[in-house]
Amino acid sequence: MHLRAVKLRGFKSFPDPVEIRLEPGVGVIVGPNGSGKSNVSDAIRWAAGSLSPTELRAEKPDDVLFAGGGARGGADFCEVELLFDNADGALPVDYAELAVARRLHRAGEGQYLVNRAAVRRLDLVELLADLGLGQGMHSIISQGKVEAILASRPAERRALIEEAAGLGRFKARRHRAELKLARVAVEVERARDVEAEVRKRLRPLALQATAAERAQKLGVEIAGLRARIAELDLAEHKERLRGIEGRRGGALTARSAVEARLEALLAERGQAEEELADAAGEREQGLQTLYRLRSAAERIDLRRESATAVLAEVRSRHTAAAAEAGDPAAELAELEGSWETAAATAQTAAVERESSAERARQVLARLLAAEAVARNALEAQLDALLAERRDIERELTGAAGTCTGAG
């Protein structure tokens, strides 16, 4: 596996895009102090997934961004890309050239890329572990590390040799597996506790489940019985409704007949009222005739009184004339004849007057009797009709209440 190039942009002292090409063999970067030689090794370590600011000679993670200088402002993001030659297929990827990149924005958003495809940091670290660039493999040795390696203890040297032999990634995997097993053991212990708690509650729950099943069956049976009762009630209500409908039809027919009878009685009442009105008219005519007869009788009385006065005057004159004349026999006979004629006329008029008054009284009595009989008959018929109408209305009200209760 050969590292062909390192591309930097905005990383520490490289604000502009820089590409460092490495040929097979030993490559050496030469330059004065402060030229950025160590920043190249920091860029490789940072692109390989390092998260420790001390390994990158920084205080904060965003110190790897170009901070700016002079008239030039700081970089908004930095990116380091490592280009590997995989023509021999040393890496388990289907690419002849492998590009591993890491990008960081000033807002704190980071991203890992493998051939421009976003991946997780864990995937990137495991992939680079096959190249010897994993964390703790000492593939990149900074200043002061040589002396620390030479002065290390046997256990530390063994760890260094194991990492150089490629066992570091397996140890990391074993460490992650042990952490997972520890978490699984905790979860298993918790599951056992839960199982024990559930076992304690299992018998009561089983009893409750049995009771629930029985209650469910009883509920189904009760629902069936209620449905059957509802069907029976519905059939009974339908039968009652049919009976009520029949009675209602009979009541409507009876009501129609009663209304017809009521109309006939009303017609008879109208006719009786007309007859009563005619009788009242005849009574009025009789009263008028009686009043005329009474007026005639009064006039006859007046005439009689006048004739009596005339007779008295004639007698007084006759007496005076007799006194004046010696024998007024002929004249007296003539006067007596006229007087008798007048008296007969007056008597005839009085008889006729009495006869007319008697007839008028008889007619008036008959009219009053006929009026009383007609009124009594009409009132009796009206009372019977009203009583029958009240009975029919009570029957209709009872039938309507029965229909409403059945509905």
Q: Can you give the residue ranges of every domain in the chain?
A: 2-135, 264-406
Q: What is the mean pLDDT of residues 65-76?
A: 83
Q: Rounded CA gap, 315 and 335, in Å?
A: 9
What band does 328 get if pLDDT is binned at 50, 70 and 90?
Answer: very low
pLDDT above 80 (res 293): no
Checking if the pLDDT of 315 tops 50, the result is yes
Q: Inform me whether the pLDDT recorded for 332 exceeds 50.
A: no
CA distance 176 to 170: 10
Q: What is the per-residue pLDDT across 369-403, written as a single tens digit (0 to 9) for each?
A: 766 766 676 667 667 767 766 776 676 666 555 54
Task: Identify the CA nearest to 142 among candidates 43, 37, 38, 25.
Answer: 38
Q: Give the tens place of pLDDT for each residue, 305-314.
A: 776 776 677 6
- CA-CA distance, 226 to 254, in Å (whole number)? 41
pLDDT for 303 beyond 90: no
Instruction: Give the residue from 114, 106, 115 showing the smallest Cα distance to 76.
Output: 106
CA–CA distance from 159 to each of 2, 48, 127, 179, 355 (Å)?
A: 25, 20, 21, 20, 170
pLDDT(336) > 60: no
Of 280 and 248, the one with more pLDDT? 248
Give the end-to-end CA distance of the chain in Å, rounded to a whole number: 96
**How many residues appear in the chain?**
407
Mean pLDDT of 213-229: 92
75-79, 122-126, 131-135: the lowest-pLDDT one: 131-135
pLDDT in tens, 145-163: 666 667 778 887 777 777 6
Domain covering 2-135, topology: Rossmann fold (3.40.50)
pLDDT cut 90: percent of the chain above it = 12
What's the whole-number mean pLDDT along residues 284-297? 75
pLDDT at residue 406, as a whole number:
43
pLDDT for 184 beyond 90: yes
Q: What is the mean pLDDT of residues 90-111?
A: 83
Give the residue, 333 or 229, on which the prediction is more confident.
229
Q: Residue 130: CB partners within 8 Å, gap ≥ 6?
A: 90, 91, 92, 166, 169
Q: Give the relative orientation of helices 329-406 and 168-324 as an angle to the nearest 10 degrees.
A: 170
Whether residue 106 has pLDDT greater than 80: yes
Q: What pLDDT is recorded for position 229?
A: 93
Residue 227: pLDDT band (50, 70, 90) is very high
CA distance 118 to 111: 7
Q: What is the pLDDT of residue 187?
A: 92
Confidence of residue 343 (pLDDT cuts 50, 70, 90): low
